[in-house]
Amino acid sequence: MKKVATCQDLSCVGKCSLSVALPILSCVGIETSVLPTAVLSANSAFPGFTFRELTKDIPGILRHWKEIGLSFDALYVGYLGNARQAEPVRQMFQTFGGTKPDGSQTIRIIDPAMADNGKLYRGVSSDMIGAMRRLVSLADVITPNLTEACLLTGTMYREDMNRDEVVELLRKLSQLGGISEDDGRERRSVILTGMSLHEGEVGAISYDAGRDSIASYYRERIPGHYHGTGDIFTSVVTGALTRGIQLEEATAIAVDFTLDAIRHTQSIPEEERLGVSFEEALPGLIEKMKAYC
C-alpha cells in the first residue's frame, strides 16, 4: 500500500485541510499519516474560532517517526500555523523526502495555502510569503491559486490575465524550484488552481516539468463561494500522483471531483460555511482512480 504523510491544520468543525485530506487519501487506497500544524475549533469561515498552533510539537513527532523507521511515497504540505513552521517542514523533507530503499523517489507536494482573492488569509502574516517561497523551492509539485502564485513570484495580482501571461507566471513558479540543495532534483511542476480564462468556466492550468508541457482543463463554473475546495483539489492530486497517474490526468481528475462535490453540496440543505459535501462524490472518485490504476 502506498503511504503519504500530510502536514496541515485540523479544523474540529468544517471540511477543510486534514478533515478532507485524510478521508480522500484513505478512500483511494493510500495509508495516510498526519502531522497537524494547528488545531482550530472550526474553520475560518466561522467568526470567533479558537486557534492553537503546534510548532513546538512538530519536531518531536518527526523525531519519533524517524526512530520507528517510517518512510513515505509522498509528502503533502498544506496550511501552516505560522511562518516558523517552514523550518520543521523543511526538516521533514530532508528526513523523509529522499530516495527510498527500493530506489524510488518520494514526491513532495505543497499547496502554499496562504491567500485568495488578492489578499492574505485572515491571521496570516506577510512573513509567510518569504517562508513559503523558500519551502516551495524544495517541492516537486505546487498547487497555488492565482493570488498565491502572484505573491510567490512578486507579480502584480490581476484577475484578468490572458493565457500568455498565465503561462509566463507558470514558468516563473517552476523556476522557484530550481535545483534542490538536498538531493539535486529539479522541482518545477505547477498546477495553477481555480483558473478561469473563459466566461462560465473554471478549472486548472498545469506545467509538467518532466514533459515540459502545459495543459488546461476546464469545467462549467457554478456560482457561489465554497470553502475548502483547494484542499479537496490538492488532496485528490496527491492521491493520483502517488498512485502513479501523470500530472495532466491527475489535474483533470481533481477538477472533476471538485465540481462533483460542489454539485452535491447544492442539493443538500447544509450550512455553507461547513464546506462542500465531498463525501457524496467519493464513490465516483474511487471508480475513476480504478480506471487509471
pLDDT in tens, 225-268: 788 899 999 999 999 999 999 999 999 999 999 999 998 888 77
More confident residue, 36 or 269: 36
185 has a pLDDT exceeding 60 = no
- b or e along 29-64 (b: 16 or more beta carbons within 10 Å of the residue's beta carbon)? ebebbbbbbbbbebbbbbeebeeebbbeebeebbee
How high is the pLDDT of residue 59?
A: 96
8-state DSSP, 206 = E
For all residues of the chain together, what is the average pLDDT? Answer: 91
* Segments forming the whole domain that contains residue 44: 2-292
180 pLDDT band, cuts 50/70/90, is low
How high is the pLDDT of residue 87?
A: 95
284 has a pLDDT exceeding 60 = yes
Mean pLDDT for 130-143 is 94
How high is the pLDDT of residue 275?
A: 85
The three-state secondary structure class of 145 is strand
pLDDT in tens, 200-222: 899 999 999 988 899 999 998 88
CATH of the domain at 245: 3.40.1190.20
Mean pLDDT for 35-45 is 93
Per the structure, how many domains does the chain have?
1
